[in-house]
Amino acid sequence: MKKWILLIVLASSFSAYAQQAKAIASSKTNTTTTTSNVSVSVSDDDSNYAFAASFDKQKTSSAKKEIVTIFGEPATEGKYFVWRKGENLEIKLREGRVSIEFEKGDQKLYDKVKSLGDSVSEVIGSKK
């Protein structure tokens, strides 16, 4: 008799679990998820400022507009748009990636470069 009761309890538990699992699975099919991948790295020490970011490719034109606003039109080197100011500054942009390398020395230029890093972070969707 105890075996029958145990079997009935187990069968009903399994049945309830199966119904619950089915309900969860059907509710997930109605969910849409949008993902965005943004990675930003900034290094700012006494002698150098470095900024590197990877982001969704569709944000590349927005990042380019920010750079063009401050540093003008770029040169093109293969897949890269490149901006240079002497030997102290190099900015490289390609689809979904940007890097800034600046050797400090000119405070005005540093302020522009730092501001550029902040504005690029904003347009590519990085949260501060």
Judging by beta carbons within 10 Å of its beta carbon (0-12, 13-18, 19+), is residue 2 exposed, middle or buried? exposed
- Same domain for 29 and 43, yes or no, is no
- Same domain for 19 and 46, yes or no, is no
CA gap 58, 25 in Å, rounded? 32
Domain limits at 61?
Answer: 39-124
Q: What is the pLDDT of residue 127?
A: 59
pLDDT (tens digit per residue) in 17-26: 444 443 333 3
CA gap 66, 124 in Å, rounded? 10
CA gap 50, 83 in Å, rounded? 14
Q: What is the pLDDT of residue 1?
A: 53
pLDDT (tens digit per residue) in 89-111: 999 999 999 999 999 999 999 99
Please report which helix (H) or strand (E) contains residue 118, including its range. helix 107-124
- Same domain for 80 and 111, yes or no, is yes
- Same domain for 93 and 77, yes or no, is yes
